[in-house]
Structure 1
Amino acid sequence: PDARVTAIDASAAMLARARAKPWPEHVEFVHTPVEELAGVHGPFDAIFAAYLLRNLADPDAQLKTLHDLLRPGGRIAVHEYSVRDSRRARWVWNAVCGAIVIPAGRLATGDATLYRHLRRSVLAFDGVADLCARLTAAGFTDVRTGTMTGWQRGIVHTVLGTRA
């Protein structure tokens, strides 16, 4: 309950939605692109990055920056879509996007552009092996991965690493 939490996002709208919820006093919200990290000061015990790396121009440089924000022994958890290594995962991802995600997004917002981008960005992103290699190249040790259950099995992964 006394943990200091720093939540960052480049989207002011996402932060506003998060701030509207009840939080302990030790939670801070910072509006900044992860490439700049203005107002973000480590060292941190842990970093959780969800659906981030595939949207960055230089994910390797950003992983090194995140590595440097951790205290020695600190952990990173990268939660990301990754289907490149599995024909089954690509098939399921395409089927779910085509039948549910894109039509539902169009219905909810009137525009499916963002949801078509999501589909393409996931298909173009690293496989799990390459994602693990990125973390290792950034200096993380004890890199390992797990996947979600249900229909997301083999599609959504969490890759863990430690700063030595």
Structure 2
Amino acid sequence: MNRADLNKRPAQVAAMFDEVAAHYDRTNAVLSMGNATLWRVATTRAVGPKRGERILDIAAGTGTSSAALTRTGAQVVAADFSEGMIEVGRQRHADNPNIEFVQADATALPFADGEFDAVTISFGLRNVVEPQKALAEFYRVTKPGGRVVICEFSTPPLTPVRVGYFAYLNHVMPAIVRLASSNAEAYDYLGESIAAWPDQATLSGWLRGAGYEGVAYRNLTLGIVALHRGVKSPDAQPAAASTDATS
């Protein structure tokens, strides 16, 4: 069994997701108690895909989020570091001409400057070893006037919710994944990575540091998840995007 740790070595993380790819969506639905669908709907609405737009969906996994983004006619590039996830996604969405699957590293995206009208990532940024470097890459490939939307696990602001949530991660979730997942050990990492992830204000600061403007977030499910948004200035020049992220 492959299990990543909080050092987030890229090869280790990719191998872990390769192994759970076949049953990944089913396990997520169980662990989120059905909320995964609601979070995906909220993210899709925040992205606001339009016909003719080109959208980059990073850490797209098997392409479930990407498929939702294509329903209005947008063209979506579904990028993921895991070859196993990409392969499952290609098979599942072979009949959708609006999705292109690409294996890619979020910190070194193989795309041109200003290529996408929108860039989005759901539940993947915390798995990147250098998340601020990834945000700089997101900014680079976003068109001037384009937008970024990040959906990620976060820190519930209410103490009772926060205590209950982390009790669920530490005690309830491990029991569930042993029944629902082909690699229960991989989901031990899930709980650890959520607990170690910074809060909403910190991620907002990272987005501003990458260059995005109008940065804001809203909590979903009492702050268990937060939806962050930002825009790239219409006046932004290619040189404004740096490969060196700042905090």
Residues 2-21 of structure 1: CA deviation (Å, up to 9, x unaligned) = 42210101112222222233
Match in the other structure for 1:15: 86
Out of 125, 132, 135, the residue aligned to residue 63 of structure 1 is 135
Q: How many Å separate the matches in 2 of 1:88 and 1:132?
A: 24
Residue 79 (structure 1) shift: 0.6
RMSD, matched Cα: 2.0
Q: How many Å separate the matches in 2 of 1:89 and 1:161?
A: 27
- Residue pair 1:85, 1:128 contacting (<8 A) in 2 also: no
Residue 84 (structure 1) shift: 7.0
Are 2:102 and 1:30 equivalent residues in the alignment? yes
Count of residues in correspondence between the two structures: 160
Give the unaligned 5+ runs of structure 2. Answer: 1-71, 234-247
- Residue pair 1:140, 1:163 contacting (<8 A) in 2 also: yes
Residue 94 (structure 1) shift: 1.6
Residue 156 (structure 1) shift: 0.5
Are 2:173 and 1:101 equivalent residues in the alignment? yes
Residues 15-59 of structure 1: CA deviation (Å, up to 9, x unaligned) = 222223345323210012222323x34510001111122112211
- Residue pair 2:219, 2:226 contacting (<8 A) in 1 also: yes
Could you tell which deviates more after superposition, 59-68 or 19-28? Answer: 19-28
Structure with the higher helix share, 1 or 2: 2
Q: How many Å separate the matches in 1 of 2:197 and 2:183?
A: 23
Structure with the higher strand share, 1 or 2: 1
TM-score where L is the length of structure 1: 0.86
- Residue pair 1:105, 1:115 contacting (<8 A) in 2 also: yes
- Residue pair 2:207, 2:230 contacting (<8 A) in 1 also: yes
Q: One-letter code of the match for 1:156?
A: V
Q: How many Å separate the matches in 2 of 1:110 and 1:63?
A: 31
- Residue pair 1:84, 1:123 contacting (<8 A) in 2 also: no
Could you tell which deviates more after superposition, 58-67 or 88-97? Answer: 88-97
Give the unaligned 5+ runs of structure 1. Answer: none
TM-score where L is the length of structure 2: 0.59
Percent of counterpart pairs with the same letter?
A: 29
Q: One-letter code of the match for 1:97?
A: L
Q: One-letter code of the match for 2:77?
A: T
Match in the other structure for 2:232: 163
- Residue pair 2:156, 2:223 contacting (<8 A) in 1 also: no
Q: How many Å separate the matches in 1 of 2:183 and 2:141?
A: 38
Out of 193, 198, 219, the residue aligned to residue 126 of structure 1 is 198
- Residue pair 2:156, 2:222 contacting (<8 A) in 1 also: no
Q: How many Å separate the matches in 1 of 2:81 and 2:134?
A: 14
